[in-house]
Amino acid sequence: MIEKGEERMDEQVVREMVAIVGPEDVSTSKADRITHSYDATQKRYLPDAVVYAESTNEISEVMKLANRTRIPVLPRGAGSGFTGGSLPVKGGIVLVLTRMDRILEIDTENLIAEVEPGVVTAELQRRVERLGLFYPPDPASKEFSTLGGNVAECAGGPRCVKYGVTKDYVLGLEVVLPSGEVIRTGGRTLKNVVGYDLTKLFVGSEGTLGIVTKIILKLLPKPAAKKTMLVQFETIEGAAKSVAAIIGAKIIPTTLEFMDAATIECIRNTSDIALNPACQAILIIEVDGEPEILDKQTGRILDVIGPFGILETMIAATEEESERIWQVRRVVSPSLRKVGPDKFNEDIVVPRSKVPDMIRALEKISEGYEVPIVNFGHAGDGNIHVNIMVDLQETGMAARVEKVVDEVFRAAVLLRGSISGEHGIGTSKARYMALELDEPTISAMRRIKTTFDPHNILNPGKIFFTSPPLTEEGGEK
Amino acid sequence: MSINKNLIDYEKVIRECVKCGMCQAYCPTYRMSRREGAVARGKIALAAALLDGDVELEELLGQDIDMCLMCGSCVVKCPNKVPTHHIVGAVRRRITGDKGMPLIDRGISGLLGSKTLKKTAVKGGALLSPLFLKKIPETSGLHLRFSPSAMRGRTVPKVAFRSLFDRFPEFLEGKKDKPVIGFFAGCSLTYLFPEVGEAAIRLLSGMGYSIFMPKAQGCCGIPAHSLGNGRLIEDLARANVEAFKKHEVKHIVTACASCNSGIGENLADMKEDFRGFTDKVIDLSVFLQQEGLFDTLSAMEKRSDRVQVTYHDPCHLKTQGVTAEPRELLKSLPQVNFVEMENASSCCGLGGVFSLHHYECSKAIGARKIAGIEQSGAEIVATACPGCIMQLQDSINHAGLKVRVVHLLELLSEALNIS
């Protein structure tokens, strides 16, 4: 099914790809190129070909071919990233890994799982939980995002307050390098100091250094029980101070989620938990562990946050009530459209004690530019989802948003935070990286990229800012 | 002028897809193929490309747009509720020029030769021969669903000797103080499961309602939707609305989930305003709950030899939010011990005529129900859609389980001794 007319891919290259993966798994048809042109950023760049890989060997052969012919390769999982990590901004081959979805082993003696990159995160979690084990990283996309994508972006989630992020659970990797060589990093032991820690280097490298084909993950025993509570505050200041106070009191909850007044406004009518009319901020706090200690923990938390203007506290007594509390959090994203049709979602992170300062800074920016900013997120680890909600149809709005984003990032960096906690840099934050990292640091990163990928064929155009900025292709006409 | 919506009428909702990818978690065909083209996000991207003139129609023919059960599982979970099932319908109508996709020439995959399968093959072999299909009107969706060549090796019920319409007059007089209820039978309850239709009518009649079951009613249109046969969809819509005009009815009750969706939400999505008709369409279990029957049932003495029963959500009720009522009905029955199963709401894999084109994929989707059924310990799976009954029983037989699939009305009529 090779397309006529605007064919860009060299026919000989297509024949070689067919020889590697078979005719069914290579396509240059317009329809297939369109369905592999986007991710959750909603930007669109047409690739020249789509290849579905099913083994390390196939990937290795495709990389050798691409490296020889200098064709860009884009590894792709669920395509649910927020920063353009899987966008084929320079065309080339989109290499789809969703079919490599086997859980190869769950080792209950050593608390280890070995998986292929296309395994869906929640699928692994369900499997290990049936065995009394636990894989903590829980990005909001866990029901559909793949572990390969989670590794590439070093995904986080609400539970990371207590349990850490993806990189804290990756013990070893099998990786196909741009040259086609297959390497193995780390291993199956918790301790391992042989040579450089390449495992950590690949985690979060956004698919620019190699293609992960096997992942060895650390598992934990599944916590016996959990307790969830929802606390409504009179002021945003009170909630922000409570976050700092809980951590300051040396209590680490499993999750510590935060919603500001603008967020609450969006969900006021959709939430089935009654919200106090005076409520300006909400914290959802969850603790886990042995059932006997949970009441003690929630009690201590309530003592610590007592002085910060609490309107109401709801402590879930049953699993269903806990679900009802989480439902309040889940309806947030879909209901944001009420504020404005176009959303700019940034995931800045600041030291936990600086959450109140960051919230103040965001309020100031919002007022200064007269642009609604809705904030919610994983306050417990200082990771705040900043949603700038606008209507881009308004004249001059695009330029205004750009300034707002710039100011938000500067504020986070000034508080010794970071411009991205979980989403990565990709294409959408590349131009801001210099706000946080100095030239020698960026230059060291560039040299690492060149070492692994001298011809710049693996996921080119990501992380490092290329000037002039890449323009989006609105589809070929 | 056509009363079907065109692709352009869906442009606004097509643009509301934010490409988050959540549909990947809920699409049955995506879970099988793991191909972006199979999932809602991919199909919406293609629909948008079609509107923008970026892709040619021919290229979509028989490809990704074909890989959709129109089950609506993605719509329920979509943050923006983008109606992919309707959008796919519009694309299919455009591809086929409103004529419906040709059924012949589509390779029906061969069957594997397992023992259990051969057993079912014998059972299914004699059925729906052309002779039987002759008894069924040409506009019936059963012709689309069961072309004889496609039916080898499947468990399918026999066409009943006497159809539902042979068993009752068009109008059944009830008590003076009770309203007239319209009954939309649908093809399956008329020809394949008339005893279920009969139970529904006897039940309603026993409750004192007058029943109007117009003989002029036709197929609900679901198979035609699935095939993209726009003209047939329109003909059926008009015929059904017309058929129920003869009597003023308070409700139009259905006992088939697909029919409920076909004459309800699908008609409501057309360009012509059919609200006078569609607002009356109601699923039988919802109606019975409103009428307080569940309390009566709950008050009956529980039997000691209760049978374990679980419930499968038909997509066409699930997407309309009808999930609690059928369960409440089952829980209220004196002879039933209700148990929930895992994946109760995942699609059975039938999907209008999907199963006909893609039997292997359909079977694989159906097989995903088996573990949940087995673990629940249920002896009976109850559901509210004849299509699901056929597909689930087929899957169960292939897996060699001894579990029976029934319409929940069969259990209800057993409890109330209606026969």
Secondary structure, 3-state, B310-370: EECCCHHHHCCCCCHHHHHHHHHCCCEEECCCCCCCCCCCCCCCHHHHCHHHHHHHHHCCH
Question: How far, in Å, CA of B75 to CA of B344, rounded?
Answer: 17
Lowest-confidence pick of A58-67, A120-129, B140-149, B271-280: B140-149
Per-residue pLDDT of chain B (419 residues; tens, 9 = 90+): 789 999 999 999 999 898 999 999 999 999 988 999 999 999 999 999 999 988 887 777 656 788 888 999 999 989 889 999 999 999 989 888 776 765 433 322 222 222 222 222 223 333 333 444 555 666 666 666 665 555 556 666 667 778 888 889 999 999 999 999 999 999 889 888 899 999 999 999 999 999 999 988 989 999 888 888 898 899 999 999 999 999 999 999 999 999 999 999 999 999 999 999 999 999 999 999 999 999 999 999 999 999 999 999 999 999 999 999 999 999 999 999 999 999 999 999 988 777 777 888 888 999 999 999 999 999 999 999 999 999 999 999 999 999 999 999 999 999 998 76
Asked if B234 and B269 count as a contact pair (C-beta separation under 8 A), the reply is: no
CA B274 distance to own-chain centroid: 21
Whether residue B24 lies within 8 A of chain A, CB to CB, comes out as yes
pLDDT tens-digit profile of A267-322? Answer: 887 777 888 999 999 999 999 999 999 999 999 999 999 999 999 999 998 888 99
Cβ distance A34 to B55 less than 8 Å, yes or no, reads yes
Whether residue B15 lies within 8 A of chain A, CB to CB, comes out as no
Does A453 have pLDDT greater than 80? Answer: yes
User: For domain B7-95, is the CATH number 1.10.1060.10?
Assistant: yes
CA distances from B391 to A327, B93, B283, B296, B300 (A): 34, 26, 21, 32, 33
Closest residue in B to A82 (Cα–Cα):
B20
**Hunting for tokens 């796919």 — which residue is that?**
B88
CATH among 3.40.50.2000, 3.40.50.720, 3.30.70.360, 3.30.465.10 for A103-221: 3.30.465.10
Asked if A384 and A375 count as a contact pair (C-beta separation under 8 A), the reply is: yes
Question: How far, in Å, CA of B370 to CA of B396, rounded?
Answer: 7
ipTM entry: 0.91
pLDDT value of position B151: 59
Angle at B225 between CA B221 and CA B230, to 5 degrees: 95
DSSP category for residue B192: I
Asked if A264 and A271 count as a contact pair (C-beta separation under 8 A), the reply is: no
pLDDT value of position B101: 62
Q: Which of B42, B46, B79 sits opposite A333 (nearest CB)?
A: B79
Backbone angles phi, psi at B145, to 5 degrees: -75, -35
pLDDT value of position B135: 54
Closest residue in B to A475 (Cα–Cα):
B54
Two tokens at A68?
């020889």
Closest residue in A to B25 (Cα–Cα):
A144
Cβ distance B56 to A30 less than 8 Å, yes or no, reads yes
Does A127 have pLDDT greater than 90? Answer: yes
Give which of A25, A32, A35 to mutate to test B binding, by max B Cβ within 10 Å: A35
pLDDT tens-digit profile of A355-405? Answer: 989 999 999 999 999 999 999 989 899 999 999 999 988 999 999 999 999
Question: How far, in Å, CA of B179 to CA of B250, rounded?
Answer: 6
Question: Around A423, how many Cα atoms within 13 Å sit in the side-chain half-sphere?
Answer: 28
pLDDT value of position B57: 77
Give which of B15, B36, B41 to mutate to test A binding, by max A Cβ within 10 Å: B36
What is the average pLDDT value for chain A, to the nearest integer?
A: 92
Q: Which of B18, B49, B80 sits opposite A34 (nearest CB)?
A: B49
CATH class name, domain A225-334: alpha beta
Whether residue B302 lies within 8 A of chain A, CB to CB, comes out as no
Closest residue in A to B23 (Cα–Cα):
A144
Between positions 40 and 59 of B, the ones with CB within 8 A of A are 42, 45-46, 49, 52-56, 59
Q: Residue A468: is the preceding peptide bond cis (ω within 30°)?
A: yes
How big, in percent rounded to 5, are the helix, strand and coil portions of chain A? 40, 20, 40
Taking one residue from A and the other from B, the number of pairs with CB-CB distance under 8 angstroms is: 81
Q: Residue type at A414?
A: L
How near does any CA of chain B get to the CA of A80, in Å?
6
Q: Which chain B residues are within 8 Å of A143, Cβ to Cβ?
A: 22, 25
The 3-state secondary structure of A403-472, one letter per residue: HHHHHHHHHHHHCCCECCCCCCCCCCCHHHHHHHCCHHHHHHHHHHHHHHCCCCCECCCCCCCCCCCCCC
pLDDT value of position A141: 92
Q: Which chain B residues are within 8 Å of A28, Cβ to Cβ?
A: none
Domain ranges of chain A: 11-96, 103-221, 225-334
Two tokens at A78?
């669920």
Cβ distance B55 to A96 less than 8 Å, yes or no, reads no
CA distances from B21 to B80, B259, B378 (A): 12, 30, 35
Backbone angles phi, psi at B240, to 5 degrees: -70, -40
Two tokens at A183?
């390497």
Give which of A144, A387, A389 to mutate to test B binding, by max B Cβ within 10 Å: A144
Asked if B126 and B95 count as a contact pair (C-beta separation under 8 A), the reply is: no
What is the SS3 assignment for A253? Answer: coil
How near does any CA of chain B get to the CA of A101, in Å?
9
> Mean pLDDT, to the nearest integer, of A1-19?
73
Cβ distance B25 to A122 less than 8 Å, yes or no, reads yes
Cβ distance A31 to B64 less than 8 Å, yes or no, reads yes
Give which of A34, A100, A332 to mutate to test B binding, by max B Cβ within 10 Å: A34
Q: Which chain B residues are within 8 Å of A30, Cβ to Cβ?
A: 49, 54-56, 59
Asked if B221 and B263 count as a contact pair (C-beta separation under 8 A), the reply is: yes
Whether residue B375 lies within 8 A of chain A, CB to CB, comes out as no
> Mean pLDDT, to the nearest integer, of A96-116?
98
Angle at B370 between CA B338 and CA B387, to 5 degrees: 80
Asked if A458 and A210 count as a contact pair (C-beta separation under 8 A), the reply is: yes
Architecture of domain A11-96: 2-Layer Sandwich (3.30)
What is the SS3 assignment for A120? Answer: strand
Asked if B141 and B266 count as a contact pair (C-beta separation under 8 A), the reply is: no
Q: Which of B21, B49, B79 sits opposite A475 (nearest CB)?
A: B49
Q: Among residues of chain A, what percentage have pLDDT more than 90?
A: 82
Q: Which of A31, A122, A143 sits opposite B60 (nearest CB)?
A: A31
Does A37 have pLDDT greater than 50? Answer: yes
Cβ distance A118 to B34 less than 8 Å, yes or no, reads yes
Helix and strand element counts for chain B (H, E): 26, 9
Task: Give this prediction's pTM.
Answer: 0.89
pLDDT value of position A341: 83
Cβ distance A78 to B46 less than 8 Å, yes or no, reads no
Q: Which of A39, A79, A334 sits opposite B80 (nearest CB)?
A: A334
Closest residue in B to A36 (Cα–Cα):
B36
Q: Which chain B residues are within 8 Å of A120, Cβ to Cβ?
A: 25
User: At how many degrees (to 10) do helices A355-369 and A397-414 cross?
Assistant: 160
Q: Residue type at A315?
A: I
- What Rg, from alpha-carbon coordinates, does chain A have? 23
Cβ distance A35 to B19 less than 8 Å, yes or no, reads no
Q: Which of B20, B52, B60 sits opposite A80 (nearest CB)?
A: B20
Two tokens at A5?
């007319």
> Mean pLDDT, to the nearest integer, of A130-151?
96
Question: How far, in Å, CA of B98 to CA of B210, rounded?
Answer: 38
Whether residue B36 lies within 8 A of chain A, CB to CB, comes out as yes
How big, in percent rounded to 5, are the helix, strand and coil portions of chain B? 50, 10, 40
Does A465 have pLDDT greater than 90? Answer: no
pLDDT value of position A75: 98
Q: Which of A35, A118, A120 sits opposite B37 (nearest CB)?
A: A35
- Both ends of chain B: CA-CA distance in Å? 47
pLDDT tens-digit profile of B132-147? Answer: 455 566 666 666 666 5
Question: Around B306, how many Cα atoms within 13 Å sit in the side-chain half-sphere?
Answer: 17
Two tokens at A280?
């300006």
Q: Which chain A residues are within 8 Å of B91, Cβ to Cβ?
A: none
Closest residue in B to A119 (Cα–Cα):
B34
Other CB atoms within a 10 A radius of the CB of residue B219 amount to 29
**Hunting for tokens 């129920």 — which residue is that?**
B244
Domain ranges of chain B: 7-95, 104-419
